[in-house]
Amino acid sequence: VTMTQFGALPAVQFTAPDGAQATVALFGAHLLSWKTADGVERLFVSSQTPLDGSKAIRGGVPVIFPQFNVRGPGLRHGFARVSTWRLADSGGDNGSAFVELVLDQSDLAPEHAQAWPHQFALTLRFTLHGNALEAGFTVRNTGAAPFPFGVALHTYYDVGQLNATTISGLQHQQYTDHELNTRIQDYPALHFNEKHDRLYQSTSTLMLNTASTTFNLSQQGFTEWVVWNPGPVDAAALVDLADDEYQRFVCIEPARVDQQPLAAGAQWTGRHRIGI
């Protein structure tokens, strides 16, 4: 690994033997870039996002913990994406390369530690392996009492052209939309001709089809998929996104939204794999 900067943020960059490369900011353990061996960038990062630690980054893979959105009593989407993690390990073999970042109670800003007074340890490992990126996220309860948590890997894919993008693998799955309607998806492929903000009660394998690429997405340990694109109206209201940039990304997120408690001494692991 090499230390680098992304904007004003210290970041680690690592490269697999085949040339695939990824960059992770210590701020948020935020994956900011994933290039496959052909040199193509697979993640979207907004042209308008601050990259100085003043605010969560719009793009890449924000780590959502210990709550999803406003589904909990604390900070929207949690403190993990606005905390500074530590590089704990890195390595690889003749086919892969990885970095591992960690965050625990002692790393938190005082206001976050006060608002969420639990003893915990997070480990996030990103592995490049051929044309795949794997993320393994572990939460440990290192305290003496249970704590509730939610988690998501809020992945922003660079899809090039939203109107040429579909997601398959969600037919017959139940979802809740942004108006809190619960429905079953009765068509095979999700198209993006309007805003979508959906929580699917599904962990099935998905295919994200763009004009140029098919991404295969799978998850383990999490309990849902979240699919989000703001559409033009919500995008215009986001100061950290250019008005037309909603046409370049979709978010698909393995998630565990419910604040299910984790027992003292216990650990939970979620895995996400994106293959091309």
Q: Does 154 bind ligand TA6 (CB under 6 A)?
A: yes
Cα distance between residue 146 and residue 150, in whole Å: 14
Tokens 């089809």: give the residue: 209
Indicate if 194 belongs to the active site.
no
Comparison of 105 and 176: residue with beta carbon closer to ligand TA6: 176
Q: Find the catalytic residue in 30, 129, 154, 272.
A: 154
Figure out which of the listed residues 25, 31, 53, 77 binds ligand TA6, where binding follows CB under 6 A.
Answer: 77
Residues 183-202 touching ligand TA6, rule: CB under 6 A, are 197
Q: Does 14 bind ligand TA6 (CB under 6 A)?
A: no
Q: Does 177 bind ligand TA6 (CB under 6 A)?
A: no
Task: Choose the binding region for ligand TA6 from 69-77, 158-166, 213-221, 267-275 (rule: CB under 6 A).
Answer: 69-77
Figure out which of the listed residues 26, 103, 128, 226 binds ligand TA6, where binding follows CB under 6 A.
Answer: 226
Tokens 């589904």: give the residue: 71
Figure out which of the listed residues 4, 19, 41, 76 binds ligand TA6, where binding follows CB under 6 A.
Answer: 76
Residues that bind ligand TA6 (CB under 6 A): 56, 69, 76-77, 154, 197, 226, 228, 251, 253
Catalytic residue positions, numbered = 154, 253
